[in-house]
Amino acid sequence: MTLWLLITRLGEAQILLPAAGLALLLLAQREDSRAAALRWALALGLGTLVTTVSKVAFLGFGWGIAALDFTGFSGHSMYAASVDIPLLATCALALFGRGRWGGALAGAALAALIAVSRVEVGAHSVSEAIAGFVLGGSLAAWVVAALPTRWPAQAALRTAVGLAPLGLTLWLAAGVAWAPPPVTHSLVVRLSLALSGREHPYTRAHLHATPRARLPVRSWPPAGDTDLA
pLDDT of 62 = 95
Rounded CA-CA distance 122/95 in Å is 37
Q: What pLDDT digit, counting tens, does each position of 183-210 carry?
A: 788 899 999 999 999 999 999 999 998 7
pLDDT of 107 = 94
Rounded CA-CA distance 170/178 in Å is 12
pLDDT of 29 = 84
> What does the DSSP 8-state code read for residue 220?
S
pLDDT of 166 = 52
pLDDT of 214 = 78
pLDDT of 164 = 57
pLDDT of 220 = 45
Report the percentage of the chain scoring pLDDT > 70.
Answer: 82
How many CA atoms are closer than 13 Å to the CA of 151, on its beta-carbon side? 25
Describe the crossing of helices 75-96 and 13-28 by its angle, rounded to 10 degrees. 30
CA 123, 53, 51, 197 torsion: positive or negative?
A: negative
10 touches 115 (CB < 8 A) = no
pLDDT of 184 = 83
Enumerate residue ranges in the chain where pLDDT < 70: 1, 153-180, 218-229
Describe the crossing of helices 100-120 and 126-146 by its angle, rounded to 10 degrees. 160
140 touches 102 (CB < 8 A) = no
